[in-house]
Each structure stands twice: as C-alpha cells, then as structure tokens.
Amino acid sequence: MSILRRATSQQARSMAYGQGDPYAIPSNGSLASYSSSGVSIDKQSAMSSAAVFASVRILASIVASTPLHTVRVDEAGRARRTAQHALIANPFGDSSGTPLDRQIGLEQMMVSKLLRGNSFNIIGATDRKGTPTQLIPIDPDIVRVDQTKDQGKRFWVAGKVVPNMDIVHVPGLSMPGSLVGMSPVAYFRQTIGLGLAIEEFGSRFFGSGAQMSGLIELDGDLDPDAARQLKERFESRHSGLRKSHGIGVLTGGAKFKPISVAPDEAQFIQSMQFNVSQIAMIFGVPPHLLGNTQDVSAAWGAGVEPQNRAFLTYTLRAWFTRIENALSNLLPDGLQARFDTQDLLRTDAVARSHLYSSARVAGWMTTDEIRDIEGMDPIGGGDRIDQPLNSAHNGDTMPGAASTPNFSQ
C-alpha cells in the first residue's frame, strides 16, 4: 500500500470515530469495525440482519410506492394539484443518464438515508429555464462534505469537488451544526452486531450441535488418546442436522447421559425478539411488521387503521417531509412536491362509506372530491359544494326543482 493510500485510509478511520473532519462521512471500509459481539459491521453486513433488512425494505418501499404529485400553493396556503412537473413525474436516472423508474430512485434515496444517514444526488438534466428535471443517486460512501471559509458546504465526490448547484443533499437526523446526517449503522453497530451474533449462534446450535448431546460415562479410566478417539467417533456419527435422531450403539459398558438445553430455556428466543424490538425502535418500524407481535396493540393501537396512522405520524411523515422539501426547493416558485398519503389511511369499504356520507351531508367535501379519492372520474355537477336535498335550508332551490307556487295570487 502506498504512503498516500495509507494516509487516506488513516484519515478516513479517524473521521469515522470523530477524530478528524466532523463533517466527513466515513467510507464504507472505514465504517467497518468490530462490535463487542465480535461481528464486523458495515452497511453490507448490517443488511444481512433480517430485522435491519426488513426495516429498510419496509420504509423504502412504502415511501417509494406512495403517489407523488406536483401542487400549486396559493396565497392562502392552500395546495391544489396541478400538471406534473418533469422532476416529479420521473425524477431519477442512473450514472449514464438513462431514466430510472421513480420507485427505484426513491428506494435508493431511502436506503442511503436509512443506512448512512444521507442521500446524495447529482443533477443529471435541466430544462430551458435551468430547473432540474433529473436526479442521479450516488453512493454516500464516495462523498465527503466539508465546510468552506464562508460557512458553506463543499462536496467532494470520488475525490473531486462538485459545485453545490450540481448536487442535492438530503440528510437524515443530524446534530446541531453538523453538515451531514448521522449514520444509524455507525451509531448502532453494537445492537446490529448483537443480532448477527445471535443468529450465528442459532445456526451453530442447530447445525453443528450433536442432537444426542450429553456425556459418555465409563466405569474405567481412558487415556487421552482413547477418550479423543471415542469422542471423535461419536461426533462423526451423530453430529449435524442430517444425522440427528440417529440410533447410537455403545459397547464396553459405556453409558450415554443426555444433557438437553432447550433454546428458549437458554433465553435464545427471547434474545432474538428483544433484538428485533430494538432494531424496530431504531428505525421507527412497528414491531409487528418485523414479526414481533408481543404487546403491539398497547403501543401502536388496536386494528390496522390506528397502527397505520401511528406509523405515518411517528415515522413516515418525517421521511415524506424531507423528500418533499428537497424536491420542492428545486421547483419553480409556487410549485411544491407533495406525497399523497390517503392510501395509507384507507379503511374498509363500510367505514369509508360512512365517512363520505357524513362529509357530503356536512358540506365539506364534494362528490368529485370523493370520487377522486376512490380513483373515479368526475361527473357533471359533482364539483358543487351544495348540501344534499335532505339537508337543504327552507327557501333553497335545488337545481332542476320547480319553484314554489304562489297561492296568494
């Protein structure tokens, strides 16, 4: 390794532990470090944890699959959907400029933020007015951020400075005064490492342990070589999953004394569940989505709708807002990006029917607004906010109704 590469590697390791530039994001290699459980953790090994992978997959897929619209905000602050801006219709491309599916691009953005605390995107194309129309997600591990003399940001991508106008940085949770977000993998490598160690222990327990585990007792004494040979012969015939439940044959007065330790008695299952709960807490994912259903109703509400509402309120809304703000800052004045979260709060058909009926009678939703939520086309006269006939005030004339005859004539 050259002196330059050693210096660069040492600098990266220092930054990873806060001993160097506080604004630099450690590279993937420098991030790798052994946790107290003895497992080396980086963003790749972290994703081998079932709980981490599931948490990242759930959050990334939900955010990426939620409809994203262009809205125009009037002077009163009301947002109305308008024609899709090119940046919102399909904002992402790959390194060659080839357009990516919007869901893939948003998933890559979310994965970067969830694992590394930051998402970086190069502006790949603009329109005639200079408004960005395409973003290219890049690996956070090749990005370094430092502070200029005028307290601004400076981005280094693969060792080269990239102008601020050509890069879009979407940080996650960050410390006051920090230029970058905090990496969950770096901060919680002990928790993630413990989970991986538990999984490895389980694999070894069931894959390598003798299913007829116990002691072989003999009346007489064996020298070390004879004891070793007896042990090796026994393990060769009964160790491993494929040889489990076999029939053992002992001669010479030997007796087998089984010693069984059930995994749940050794708190193996409880340790796995506790680790899943911790990882779910780190990412803000309801534990029941990760397979842990213990006491979930007390924390997240009873029923699908309350749990989805809590998930949206306490976790998803923050991620939606970060992406909305980042994209809105790139749009022309008056336009904003807005996620449509109605699908996340959809109840059953009967409950929606009661809601729409009440809203229509009370006069705070029109027929077309209700049909739009249900994915149906508008109808003639469906944009009127008039109250239904059975709620009309005295003297009101409904469209098509005959006028009241004047009996005084």
Instruction: Tell me the per-residue pLDDT of 142-159, one tens digit each, with 9 for 90 and over.
Output: 999 998 888 788 999 998
Q: What local confidence, expressed as pLDDT, does residue 1 receive?
A: 37
Q: What local confidence, expressed as pLDDT, does residue 319 receive?
A: 95
Q: What local confidence, expressed as pLDDT, does residue 14 receive?
A: 38
Q: Which of 85-89, 148-152, 233-237, 293-297 has the highest mean pLDDT?
A: 85-89
Kindly indicate the confidence band of residue 73, based on its pLDDT and cuts at 50, 70 and 90: confident
Query: Would you call 244 helix, strand, or coil by DSSP?
Result: coil
**Residues contacting residue 191 through CB under 8 Å, at least 6 positions apart:** 275, 278, 279, 282
- For 340-384, strand residue ranges (E) read none
Instruction: Return the minimum-mean-pLDDT range out of 300-304, 313-317, 357-361.
Output: 300-304
Residue 408: is its pLDDT beyond 50?
no
Instruction: Tell me the per-residue pLDDT of 150-185, one tens digit each, with 9 for 90 and over.
Output: 878 899 999 899 999 999 999 999 999 899 999 998
Q: For the chain, which residues make up each domain, given as ranges?
A: 7-209+261-346, 214-258, 349-391
Q: What local confidence, expressed as pLDDT, does residue 256 receive?
A: 63
The rounded distance, in Å, linking the Cα atoms of 124 and 134 is 5
Task: At 203, list the tokens.
Answer: 């694999």
Backbone CA torsion sign across 77, 79, 83, 87 = positive
The rounded distance, in Å, linking the Cα atoms of 19 and 7 is 14
Kindly indicate the confidence band of residue 379, based on its pLDDT and cuts at 50, 70 and 90: confident
CA 300 to chain CA mean position, Å: 18
Amino acid identity at 5: R
